[in-house]
Amino acid sequence: MKVQTNKKYTTIAFYAVIVIAINVLLVVAVFKFNTILKLISTLVSALTPVIVGLVIAFLINPIMVNFEKLFRNKVVKNPAKKKLTRACSVTVASLVFLGIVVGLTYVVVPELINSIIDIFNNASNIVIKVQGWINKLFKNYPDIETMATEKLKAFSTDLGTVIEKVQPMFENILSGAWGVINVLKNFVFGFIVSIYMLCSKEKLLAQAKKIIIANTKKSTCEKIMRVCTETNKVFAGFLSGKIIDSAIIGVLCFIGLTIMNMPYNIMISVLVGVTNIIPFFGPIIGAIPSTALMLFIDPKKAIILLIFIVILQQFDGNILGPKILGDSTGLPGFWVLVSLFFFGNLFGFIGMVIAVPTFALLYTFTRESVVQRLRKKKLPVDTDYYMEDVEHLYKKNEKRIPLTPEQLDAMVIPSADEVNEVNREDDPEIVDDHNENKDQ
């Protein structure tokens, strides 16, 4: 017996099954939230080398592209040897990246850890200095002095406990016995993955496009492609520019602190350079702990350090940053603050780094959607039109009143000869031709 299906009811049943399945998944997600988090954590841990490889490939790609252009124009000019050009550019770019990473690790990390251990060792002297300041400042206010002293004792007790736990950890890191194997494993595997990605970049992108085109409509496919292109453009421009800008600021800070003979110059320079990656709040985040640390050691040097960091950040914000970054995001200042608060609270330091480019993409696509909808409604797209009351945008055209018979009779309509005569008088060329015909 042949079963006849009704297309209408089949579609309804299909969507009903989807809705029920989504509801079941939501219920399971609510009651098994911790299990799902553990599953996601396990998946992320298993894919860590791939994620690290994506990040490394994203960082190496601009270096590789520049070397590829150089080899194509100067060394390997034959277009048929494209694979050789790619292999040479990937090799050189990878060596440059490894040189930077190894150099920073070999020079900066040991000095940074030594500085932190030295601060821990001198913590008791810092507490004694702070106690002396409290006694001098609040000697006429015994209640405030007692309260501040108790807070300082509680802080020093907690600090001592933290130091006892953290100091051996830093010593183990310095000796290479704490977590180095796991970090090194992820970096090595990620580096290998990044080389494969860079060597077959075009093929991987073509496969992704193939999957998207096969499963979406033309309009949806074009939107996805545009989103991906804009995302790559914004993130590549912002992150690569910000990393270069922050590296230059860190080096300038180290040179300045070395000339001024400041203690912990490497640690402060690294802190200022790393926090400079964060827009807007980065300089503040880097300046406050650096100045507070120097204040406990030498108040005069703390003031000098604060002035130096402010001058350095002004140079970065007004001269260096605009030269390197330009207007790579186009995001207004208010939305920069909103994005930093939102993503910073959700994802911490990484969230503050990716906040501006991510929000810039959302801002761009939202603006384009709003402009498109306004044009469909035949309304102005300029924001200035919406600063006043919007009622004037919806005013209807005045209704045309037909002329009465008396008004029509009173109208004087010129004849065709009179119109032509007026046109001849207004146009000098016609007048000249008419005069020449008369002379002949």
Q: Is the domain of 60 the same as that of 182?
A: yes
Is residue 132 in some structural domain?
yes
Same domain, 196 and 316: no
Query: Do residue 101 and residue 161 come from a single domain?
Result: yes
- The reply to whether 234 and 162 lie within a common domain is no
Residues 181, 315, single domain; the answer is no
How many helices and strands (H and E) does the chain possess? 17, 0
Domain edge (last residue) among 171, 200, 229: 200
* Same structural domain, 139 and 254: no
4: phi then psi, degrees, rounded to nearest 5? -90, 130
Q: Please list the pLDDT of the chain residue by residue as tens digits (440 residues).
A: 455 565 666 777 778 888 888 888 888 777 777 887 788 888 888 888 888 888 889 888 888 888 888 887 776 666 667 788 888 888 998 998 888 888 877 777 777 777 777 777 766 677 777 777 777 777 777 777 778 777 777 766 655 555 555 555 555 544 444 456 777 888 889 999 999 999 888 899 899 899 989 988 888 888 888 888 888 888 888 888 888 888 888 889 889 989 988 888 888 888 888 888 887 777 778 888 888 778 777 778 888 888 998 888 888 878 887 777 665 566 777 888 888 888 888 877 788 888 888 888 888 888 888 888 888 888 888 877 777 776 766 666 556 777 777 777 777 777 767 766 656 655 555 445 555 544 44
Instruction: Note whether residue 356 is domain-resident.
Output: no
Cβ proximity of 393 and 385 under 8 Å: yes
| Same domain assignment for residues 274 and 297 | yes
Answer yes or no: is 358 within a domain: no
Looking at the fold, whether 26 and 97 belong to one and the same domain comes out as: no
Whether 374 maps to a domain, the answer reads: no
Q: Specify if 395 maps to a domain.
A: no
Same domain, 32 and 89: no
Please state, as a whole number, how many other Cβ atoms lie within 10 Å of the Cβ of residue 346. Answer: 11
Q: C-alpha angle 316/341/317, rounded to 5°? A: 10
Domain that holds residue 35: 7-43
The verdict on 64 and 169 lying in the same domain is yes
The number of distinct structural domains making up the chain is 4
Percentage helix, strand, coil for the chain under 3-state DSSP, each rounded to 5 = 85, 0, 15
Q: Is residue 270 part of a domain?
A: yes
Q: How many CA atoms lie within 13 A of 118 on its CB side?
A: 12
Encode 260-274: b = buried (16+ Cβ within 10 Å), e = exposed.
Answer: eebebbbbbbbbbbb
Residues 172 and 240 in one domain: no
Residue 180 has φ and ψ, to the nearest 5°, of -70, -35
Verify that 229 and 159 share a domain, yes or no. no
Q: Are 275 and 283 in contact (CB under 8 A)?
A: yes
| Residue 210 is assigned to a structural domain of this protein | no
